[in-house]
């Protein structure tokens, strides 16, 4: 029996919104010497047009599903999903929304069947998918439904010589701010923290993860004077999990949780809502931050930015976040393949 290590991991890369920068980012990713068999999931002709926008000579072939042992920079295979109508850079068309959804379905189903080893997603235009009549709040929720899994959104930066990696998970994702308090309860927070703890152990190889938990209110509620969510929900959740052996810090005031003195004390942070912590992370490492979905039965990473419609077709979009997402996916794949205890 041949060794699996002889073959490159098959990394599915969804092209995202056809009128955005996603296809150009995929073309630029293919020029990098990544140790992966890159499978673009999208329209092959559009990928050729995207490469031309970037002035790239890209060798595009159909994906036959066979594993390969070598890929040269400038080569990519495509699982072809034709657009319904040719893209107009910067002008999303609802007629192409279901092509986008089909690429996401193919990526998720392919990962679960073993066709792909992981998926990396370029940005989509959520508003256009909704305009087409398909309720869509984001990749995270889509993949969770497709895999019938409970998930957590995390954004992560690699860190550097002076700063440790910064990993921020979200208790709630794409909710209006007024809906956040009602979405929090003890069972939900316990489930989210268990997913984060398990992922830090299995995927990141941290034996005893330390997770900082943010409060919901200013000053983490100020002892109940600025809200009782910390007292009634967050602290009871943390106590339950501490008794099960989890190492949790908090509830922490969000305005001081990310100061330099705190960073080395935590391997990840759980924020209560989307904009509570992500501005901190994106202001520090926007070009290299990666969005990943914890709790899926496969590895999924993504860029941390949107479709940048104003740049589409210019060939000027920065591929740094997509490259970082691909590199992180490749690092996580061996852990995902490992037997779970």
| Annotation: binding site for substrate | 139-140, 282, 291, 300
Give the residue from 249, 325, 247 showing the smallest Cα distance to 13.
325
Backbone angles phi, psi at 7, to 5 degrees: -105, 150
Tokens at 9, concatenated: 């991991």
Measured CA to CA, the distance from residue 194 to residue 197 in angstroms comes to 5
CA distance linking residue 281 with residue 305, whole number of Å: 12
Strand-pair category, 210-214 with 118-121: unpaired
Residue with tokens 């992981």: 118
Q: Which residues are paired to 78 by β-bridges?
A: 40, 62
Binding site, annotated residues: 139-140, 174, 219, 274, 282, 291, 300
| 63 φ/ψ angles, rounded to the nearest 5 degrees | -80, 120
The length of the chain is 341
The residue among 299, 110, 114, 297 whose CA lies nearest residue 204 is 299
> 116's torsion region: left (phi>0), alpha (psi -120 to 50) or beta?
beta
- Annotated binding residues for a divalent metal cation, written as ranges, equal 174, 219, 274
Q: CA–CA distance from 226 to each of 221, 237, 272, 340 (Å)?
A: 5, 19, 16, 42
Place of tokens 């092209």: 15
d(CA 307, CA 126): 10
Query: What tokens does 10 get?
Result: 């098959």
Structure tokens at 257: 């949780």
Enclosing H/E stretch for 15: none
């Amino acid at each position: 029996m041949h060794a699996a290590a002889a073959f490159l991991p098959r990394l599915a890369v969804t092209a995202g919104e056809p009128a955005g920068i996603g296809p150009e980012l995929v073309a630029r990713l293919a020029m990098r010497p990544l140790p992966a068999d890159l499978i673009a999931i999208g329209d092959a002709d559009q990928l050729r047009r995207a490469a031309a926008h970037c002035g790239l000579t890209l060798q595009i072939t159909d994906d036959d599903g066979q594993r390969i042992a070598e890929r040269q920079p400038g080569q990519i295979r495509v699982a072809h999903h034709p657009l319904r109508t040719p893209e107009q850079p910067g002008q999303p068309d609802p007629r192409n929304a279901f092509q986008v959804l089909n690429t996401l379905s193919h990526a998720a189903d392919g990962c679960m069947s073993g066709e792909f080893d992981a998926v990396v997603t370029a940005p989509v235009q959520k508003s256009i998918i909704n305009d087409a009549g398909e309720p869509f709040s984001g990749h995270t929720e889509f993949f969770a439904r497709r895999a019938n899994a409970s998930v957590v959104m995390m954004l992560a930066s690699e860190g550097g010589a002076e700063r440790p990696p910064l990993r921020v998970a979200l208790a709630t994702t794409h909710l209006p701010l007024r809906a956040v308090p009602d979405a929090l309860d003890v069972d939900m927070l316990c489930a989210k923290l268990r997913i984060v703890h398990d992922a830090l152990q299995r995927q990141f190889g941290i034996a005893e993860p330390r997770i900082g938990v943010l409060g919901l209110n200013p000053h983490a509620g100020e002892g109940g004077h600025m809200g009782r969510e910390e007292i009634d929900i967050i602290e009871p959740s943390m106590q339950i999990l501490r008794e099960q052996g989890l190492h949790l810090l908090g509830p922490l005031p969000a305005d001081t949780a990310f100061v330099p003195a705190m960073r080395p004390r935590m391997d990840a942070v759980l924020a209560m809502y989307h904009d509570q912590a992500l501005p901190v992370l994106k202001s520090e490492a926007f070009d290299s931050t990666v969005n990943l979905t914890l709790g899926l039965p496969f590895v999924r990473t993504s860029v941390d930015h949107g479709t940048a419609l104003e740049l589409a077709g210019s060939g000027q979009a920065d591929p740094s976040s997509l490259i970082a997402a691909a590199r992180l996916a490749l690092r996580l794949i061996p852990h995902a393949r490992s037997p779970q205890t």
